[in-house]
Amino acid sequence: MSSEPETDYEIAKSVEEQPIWEVTEPFGLDKDDLELYGDYKAKISQDAIDELLEGDTEDGDVILVTGMTPTPMGEGKTVTTVGLGQALNQIGEDAMIAIREPSLGPVFGIKGGAAGGGWSQVLPMEDINLHFTGDIHALTAAHNLISAMLDAHISKGNELNIDSRSVAWPRAVDHNDRALRQTIVGAGDSAGVTRMDEHVLTAASELMAILCLAEDIEDLKERISRIIVAYDEDGEPVTAGDIEAAGATAILLRDALRPNIVQTIEGTPALVHGGPFANIAHGTNSLLADYVGKKMGDYLVTEAGFGSALGGEKFMDVVSQLGDIEPSAIVLVASVRALKYHGLDMWPFEGEEVLQEEDVDAVEAGFENLDKHVSNLRQFGLPVTISINRFPSDTDAEIEAVREHYQDMDGVQVAESTVFGEGGEGGVELAEKVTDAVENYDGGFEPLYDLDASLKEKIETVATQIYGADGVNYVGSAEDDIAQLEEMGMDDVPVVLSKTFHSLSDDPAKKGAPEGWTLDVRELYPSAGAGFVVALTGDVMTMPGLPARPAAADMDIDADGTISGLF
C-alpha cells in the first residue's frame, strides 16, 4: 500500500476490485443472493433480505460515526467510517459499513465525490458518484410523477378542490440549479394552472426520507400514500394517496428500496443506500441497509450527516425511535484543523492554509466545541471514542494536547486515525478502542425525549440539551403550525430540527459552544410519509446553486472512457 500523493480517482483506479460476490460470501451472501449491476455493484435480492431479517442470526453492534462542528471542508466522517470498517476487519472482526449515496449536485458543483477518500474509499467510486444503481434517478422520477399527477389533477377538474396556492409538493432535480429554486409552472398557453413552484434537490425530497425509513414495499406504499402534497380550499391536507399516485410511485421505487452493496478499497463490504438531508430530514442511510448490515456483520459502522448535534442527534432521537436500531458506541470525528477553527473563532472561514501552522493554544481553545459534542453524546448513555482524523500538517504536540485533555474523562477515549493515507492500518488504534468500548458497554442507550412529549417539549429538549440554547422563541407561523399539527395528530412523532451546521447555535458566525442565546423556530411542517415533523429555524437551502466556474467545467472523458477532473 502506497501513501504517495495521488488523487482519490487515481487511488481508486490503482486497486483491483474483487467480484462483489467474493466480498459478500464470507458475510453470508453468495452470488444468488445478489442482483448484479456488473461485477462490482449489486443490490441484495428481496429473498436474501427476507431471509436475513426473518432469520435468527443475532444482531451485530452498531457503531455510529458522527462529528464535531465541522469546517466548511468537512472533517472526514465518511473516510473514518470506511477506514474504521477496514481496520476492524484487519484486527479480525467481521465488520460491515453502511453509508449514504452521493447526489450529483455536489459532484458537479464544488464538493466532488462522497465515497470516502484516499485509501478509505468505496469502489467503484466513479459509478457510485454518478448513476450507481439508479436509486437517485428513480427517486427523481418518482417525485416528479407525483408532481405531474398533482398538477394534472388541479388543471383537469380539480375534484379534490386543491388550493393551487397551497401546494406542498415541490418538483425535484438532482443538480445544483439555482434558477429552479423558485419557478412559475403552467405559464403561457401551456394549458396548466399557473402557480408558484419550487425545486428541491432529490436528496431533499420526502421520498428520499421515506425510502430510508421504509421496512418493505407495503410500508413504502403506505408512507407514500400519507405524504401531504397540498391543502384544499378548506385547509385540509390532500395526500399522494388522495390523488391516486401511491401505487405508481411505489412501482418506480421498487428496485431502489433494496440496499446496494459494494466494497471498500480493502474489500470490506459496504452498503451504500439512500441519502436524505440532515437538516430537513434524518440524514442517514436506509434503515434496511442498517438492518441487513447488522445481520451480516458482528459490527456495522454507519454514519450520520453534519455534526453530532444535527445528524447524530437525529439518529438517536428520530431514527432509533422510528426503526429498530440503536448504537452501542459512538465515534466522534474531530480534527486539529476544526479545533483551531473554533479556537480562533474563525468566521468567515479563511481557508485551509491558515489552519496548517502549529498552534496548540488554538487547539485547546477549540476544545469548547468538542467538549460540548462529547457531553451531548454522553447524555444518550453511549461510550464516545474521539477519532482525530490526522492531516499531514498536524503536529505531534497538537495531537498530544487532544489526548491529554480527554485522558481522564469518563466514557471517553481518544484515537488517532490516518485511514485517509494508510487505509485500515491507520485505523487500528481506533478499531481497538471502539471494540473495547462496545465490549464494556452496559446497554444504557436512551433517546433524549419520548415520542408522547409535546412538540414544544421535544424542540426545547434538543435546543437546550444539545444546542446549548437558553430556550426557544416561536416566531412566524410556528405557533399556528404547532396547533395545526396537533389537530392533525402529527404531534406524537419525532421532530427534525433544521439548523445551520456551521455552529452549535443558530448563528453560523458563532464558534465553540455558544451560550446565552435563544433558538428561533419559525415554521413547522409535517413529513407525514416519513413520520416526523420538521421545525425550521432559519433559511434552509434545499436547492444549492453552481458557482461561476463549477467543478463540471473541468471534467472530461477521453476516447477510452477514462474520466478526468471528477475528483
145-184 positions binding a second copy, by CB under 8 A = 145, 147-149, 151-153, 155-157, 171, 173-184
Q: How far is the CB of 80 from a second copy (least distance, A)?
A: 28
Q: Is 24 in the site for a second copy (CB under 8 A)?
A: no
**Separation in Å, CA 38 to CA 18, 31, 96, 133:** 12, 12, 21, 10
Q: Is residue 552 near a second copy by the rule CB under 8 A?
A: yes
Q: Element (H or E) spanning 387, and its range?
A: strand 384-389
Interface with a second copy (CB under 8 A), residue from 15, 138, 281, 455: 138
**212 near a second copy, judged by CB under 8 A:** no
Q: State yes or no: 75 annotated in a binding site.
A: yes
> Is position 340 an interface residue for a second copy (rule: CB under 8 A)?
no
Q: Which amino acid would we find at residue 64?
A: L
Measured CA to CA, the distance from residue 132 to residue 481 in angstroms comes to 39
**Three-class SS of residue 198?**
strand
* Cα–Cα–Cα angle for 206, 380, 531, rounded to 5 degrees: 20
- For a second copy, give the closer residue by CB, 178 or 486: 178
Q: Which of residues 105-124 bind a second copy (CB under 8 A)?
A: 108
Q: Which is nearer to a second copy, 42 or 209 (CB)?
A: 42
Residue 147 and residue 480: Cα distance in Å, rounded?
27
Identify which of residues 157 and 443 has a Cβ nearer to a second copy in the complex.
Answer: 157
Rounded to the nearest 10 degrees, the angle between the axes of helix 396-406 and helix 336-343 is 80
Q: How far is the CB of 244 from a second copy (least distance, A)?
A: 4
CA angle 500, 323, 254 (to 5 degrees): 95
**Which 518-547 residues touch a second copy, going by CB under 8 A?**
545-547
Tell me how far, at minimum, the Cβ of 20 lies from a second copy, in Å: 12
CA distance 441 to 435: 10
Distance CA 41, CA 26 (A): 17
**Is 35 among the residues that bind a second copy (CB under 8 A)?**
yes
Residue (26 or 247) nearer to a second copy, CB: 247
Total site size for a second copy, rule CB under 8 A? 83
The answer to whether 77 is annotated as binding is: yes
Select from 543, 551, 541, 503 the least CA-distant residue to 111: 551
Query: Rounded distance, CA 81 to CA 65, Å?
Result: 6
Instruction: Choose the stretch contacting a second copy; rule: CB under 8 A; options: 63-71, 245-253, 344-352, 414-422.
Output: 245-253
For a second copy, which residue of 87, 250, 325, 401 counts as binding (CB under 8 A)?
250
Among residues 190, 407, 440, 473, the one that binds a second copy under rule CB under 8 A:
190
215-234: which residues touch a second copy (CB under 8 A)? 216-218, 221
Q: Which of residues 363-422 bind a second copy (CB under 8 A)?
A: none
Q: 91 vs 148, which CB is nearer to a second copy?
A: 148
The yes or no reply on residue 238 touching a second copy (CB under 8 A) is no
The nearer residue to a second copy, 130 or 453, going by C-beta atoms, is 130
Nearest-Å Rg of the Cα atoms of the chain is 23
Q: Is 71 annotated as a binding residue?
A: yes
Q: Which cell numbers in the block locate residue 58?
A: 443475532
- Pick from 212, 462, 433: nearest CA to 329: 433
Nearer to a second copy, 112 or 421 (CB): 112
Place of cell 452496559: 442
- Bridge partners for 42 per DSSP: 36, 261
- Residue 55 labelled as part of a binding site: no
**Type of residue found at 3:** S
User: DSSP readout, 438-484?
Assistant: HHH-------SS-TTS-HHHHHHHHIIIII--SEEEE-TTHHHHHHH
- Of 254, 403, 456, 522, the one binding a second copy by CB under 8 A: 254
Q: Which of residues 44-83 bind a second copy (CB under 8 A)?
A: 46
Alpha helices in 266-331 (DSSP H): 287-296, 313-314, 320-322
- Is residue 76 a known part of a binding site? yes
Please state, in angstroms and rounded to a whole number, the distance separating the CA atoms of residues 492 and 449.
11
The answer to whether 427 is a known ligand-binding residue is: no
Q: Please name the residue that has the C-alpha cell 443490490.
A: 43
> What is the closest distance, in whole angstroms, from the C-beta atom of residue 53 to a second copy in the complex?
14
> According to the binding rule CB under 8 A, does residue 140 interact with a second copy?
yes
Nearest approach, Cβ of residue 263 and a second copy (Å): 17
74 annotated to a ligand binding site: yes
Annotated binding-site residue numbers: 71-78
Annotated binding-site residue numbers for ATP: 71-78
